[in-house]
Amino acid sequence: MASKKTNPDKVTENDSNSRRDFIKKSGLLTALALAPPSLVMASENKWDEKIAEYLETVPLSIEVNGKKHNLNIEPRTTLLDLLREQLQLTGTKKGCDHGQCGACTVHVNGTRILSCLTLATMQQNAQVTTIEGLVKGKKLHPMQEAFIKHDGFQCGYCTPGQIMSGIACIKEGHANSREEIREYMSGNICRCGAYHNIVDAITEVKEGGKEL
């Protein structure tokens, strides 16, 4: 399949910049085996730059808030960066970017996780729900309503993560007392200190018994 023009050693010989080094390391042939025929053809037509760009990315099929996306992403792209930078879903917040604050909490296949520590490429065919996916038509989600009613925020930066986590907290069966809610919400930090009101909001939604 690979012509002489795409011999990885030859590419490296002719051009020693970092992109070429990367191609050598990552194995051009393996990547080409996965490439669609049009790109193989492109390589035969010496569209080196385009190929190099393609080879640094991997295909990803992912469903976000009910919408399917077929994308090409760099393997190092986190789910958080994918949502914010490529899908323009900026409701999910980047707080610490190191798994310490919970602002990036989203649901993947129904489970709350930290999108900043999740490599998007490892979420092939996953169903992701973000804060943008909660609203039904123009109707806010009961947890969103409760946060407004109980003033569960001040600056609002941690709120999308708090709401996603709060919904999961109830669904998991960990909202049976204020104490339990505080423990199972401990991964979501609020610098404004709205914790008391957040617990009020989650308690009300839990006691409301609505399907979430």
Partner 1 sequence: MKNFQIIKALSSSSAVSNISKEKEAMFIAGGTNLVDLMKKNVVAPDKLVDITGLDLAKIEFLTGKVSIGALAKNSQVAEDASIKEKYPLLALALAAGASQQIRHMATVGGNMLQKTRCSYFYNTDMPCNKRTPKSGCGAIGGSNRMAAIFGASDSCIAVHPSDMCVALAALDAAVLVEGPKGKRQIKFTDFHRLPGNTPEKDNTLESKELITSIEIPDNNFTKNVHYLKVRDRTSYAFALVSVAVALDLKNNVINDVRLAMGGVAHKPWRLTEAEEFLKGKTVSEEIFRKAADLSMKGAKAYGGNDFKLTLGPNAITEALTIAASK
193 binds partner 1 (CB under 8 A): no
State how far the alpha carbon of 82 is from the alpha carbons of 73, 94, 157, 159, 173, in Å: 8, 12, 19, 20, 30
Q: Which of 2, 40, 58, 71 binds partner 1 (CB under 8 A)?
A: 58
User: Which residue in 73, 76, 79 sits closest to 94, CA to CA?
Assistant: 79
Q: Which of 7, 16, 72, 111 binds partner 1 (CB under 8 A)?
A: 111
25 binds partner 1 (CB under 8 A): yes
Residue 137 CB, nearest distance to partner 1 (Å)? 29
Q: Which two tokens stand for residue 162?
A: 């708090």
Euclidean distance between CA atoms 55 and 62, whole angstroms: 20
Euclidean distance between CA atoms 163 and 129, whole angstroms: 12
Q: Total number of residues binding partner 1 (CB under 8 A)?
A: 35
If the CB atoms of residues 43 and 121 are measured against partner 1, the closer one turns out to be: 121
Q: Which of 114, 134, 190, 194 binds partner 1 (CB under 8 A)?
A: 114
24 binds partner 1 (CB under 8 A): no
Q: Which stretch binds partner 1 (CB under 8 A): 3-11, 21-29, 61-69, 204-212?
A: 21-29
Q: Site mask, partner 1, residues 126-165, x = CB under 8 A?
A: ---------------------------------------x
SS3 (DSSP) at 164: helix
User: Which residue in 129, 192, 137, 139 sits closest to 163, CA to CA?
Assistant: 129
User: Which residue in 29, 27, 24, 20 sits closest to 2, CA to CA?
Assistant: 29
Euclidean distance between CA atoms 86 and 63, whole angstroms: 14
Q: Which stretch binds partner 1 (CB under 8 A): 39-47, 119-127, 193-201, 203-211?
A: 119-127
Euclidean distance between CA atoms 110 and 192, whole angstroms: 28
Residue 125 CB, nearest distance to partner 1 (Å)? 12
Q: Which of 20, 84, 94, 112 binds partner 1 (CB under 8 A)?
A: 112
Q: Which two tokens stand for residue 68?
A: 């399917």
Length of the chain, in residues: 212
Restricting to residues 59-98, name those near partner 1 by CB under 8 A. Answer: 74-76, 78, 97-98
Q: Which two tokens stand for residue 163?
A: 């709401």
Which residues contact partner 1 by CB under 8 A?
Answer: 22, 25-27, 56, 58, 74-76, 78, 97-99, 102, 105, 111-114, 117-119, 121-122, 165, 168-169, 172, 174, 182-184, 186-188
